[in-house]
């Protein structure tokens, strides 16, 4: 081989080596992928949050422990639920338990506890001790959330429950300040972020959180019963989640979240 050809040969080898270093073949290319719908529920779940938010990150790491990748699709919540229910996607992150949902989904072990509170305007006379306190109060709630289901169950028990639904918490809080609803039902973390980002300090001072939670509910991954691997995927999540707890990694993720690492 001539000198020029030898130089070109070594240049080619060197270039290929550099390409392989900069664009390595993904180690996880052979790992199976679970496709989960998701939605905007910042800071717990959001396409704009780091790692998709805390809950999304927990699920991603749990499944990685079991040898799976995750593909998230972010949709409006009702659509996210329906697309998982009919098996177009494998499941959905993350939901509270109801018997009705259990007809169509297998539930993972609890991923994260959701704390829901009642918010009302300053000077509005309101107290919350039991369901009867919600009678005669116009409530704002997100469409398709567990809270709407709970209000419907109260109505079935004969309580005079009046509510309107919206598609976002932001719409609910604007309706609250505008006097179109008296009380808003919202996740405490979500409400805290929304109020800081979208309302003035004066407006924030006009909105009060009742100290007694409306509910504290564990969130789960739902795996559709209309796919072929329902039990396999559910078991994979549960195994990986247990490994997160046993290793202390779960507590690390929550601590990072509390320090604002997902903002």
Residue 249 lies in a domain: yes
Same structural domain for residues 77 and 150?
no
Q: Predicted confidence band at 12 (pLDDT cuts at 50, 70, 90)?
A: very low
Residue 1 lies in a domain: no
Same structural domain for residues 62 and 190?
no
Residue 146 lies in a domain: yes
Same structural domain for residues 95 and 34?
yes
pLDDT mean across residues, the chain: 88
Question: Domain range spanning residue 47?
Answer: 27-113+217-258
Domain count, the chain: 2
DSSP 35-90: EEEE--BTTTB-TTSGGGSHHHHHHHHHHHHTT-EEEEEE--HHHHHHHHHTTSSS
Rounded Cα distance between 30 and 9, Å, is 32
Same structural domain for residues 39 and 96?
yes
Evaluate if residue 17 carries a pLDDT over 60. no
Rounded Cα distance between 225 and 87, Å, is 8
The reply to whether the predicted model has a pTM over 0.85 is no
Residue 22 lies in a domain: no
**Confidence at residue 160, expressed as pLDDT on a 0 to 100 scale:** 96
Same structural domain for residues 234 and 148?
no
Same structural domain for residues 142 and 173?
yes
Residue 78 lies in a domain: yes
Phi, psi of 4 (to 5 degrees): -60, -45
Same structural domain for residues 88 and 100?
yes
Q: What is the mean pLDDT of residues 248-256?
A: 95
Same structural domain for residues 119 and 212?
yes
**Confidence at residue 158, expressed as pLDDT on a 0 to 100 scale:** 96
Residue 2 lies in a domain: no
Same structural domain for residues 75 and 188?
no
Same structural domain for residues 209 and 254?
no
Residue 210 lies in a domain: yes
């Amino acid at each position: 081989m001539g000198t020029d050809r030898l130089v070109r040969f070594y240049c080619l080898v060197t270039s290929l080596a550099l390409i392989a270093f900069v664009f390595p073949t993904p180690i996880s290319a052979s790992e199976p992928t679970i496709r989960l719908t998701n939605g905007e529920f910042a800071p717990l779940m959001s396409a704009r949050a780091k790692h998709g938010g805390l809950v999304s990150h927990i699920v991603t790491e749990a499944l990685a422990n079991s040898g799976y990748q995750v593909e998230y699709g972010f949709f409006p919540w009702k659509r996210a639920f329906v697309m998982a229910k009919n098996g177009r996607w494998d499941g959905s992150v993350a939901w509270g338990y109801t018997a009705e949902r259990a007809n169509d989904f297998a539930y993972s072990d609890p991923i994260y506890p959701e704390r829901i509170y009642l918010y009302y305007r300053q000077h509005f006379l309101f107290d919350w001790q039991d369901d009867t306190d919600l009678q005669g109060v116009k409530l704002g709630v997100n469409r398709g959330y567990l809270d709407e289901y709970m209000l419907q169950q109260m109505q079935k028990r004969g309580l005079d429950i009046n509510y309107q639904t919206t598609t976002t918490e932001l719409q609910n809080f604007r309706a609250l300040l505008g006097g179109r609803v008296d009380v808003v039902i919202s996740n405490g973390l979500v409400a805290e972020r929304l109020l800081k980002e979208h309302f003035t300090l004066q407006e924030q001072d006009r909105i009060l959180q009742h100290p007694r939670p409306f509910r504290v509910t564990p969130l789960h991954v739902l795996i559709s019963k209309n796919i072929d691997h329902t039990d396999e995927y559910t078991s994979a999540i549960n195994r990986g989640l247990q490994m997160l707890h046993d290793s202390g990694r779960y507590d690390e993720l929550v601590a990072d979240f509390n320090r604002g690492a997902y903002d």
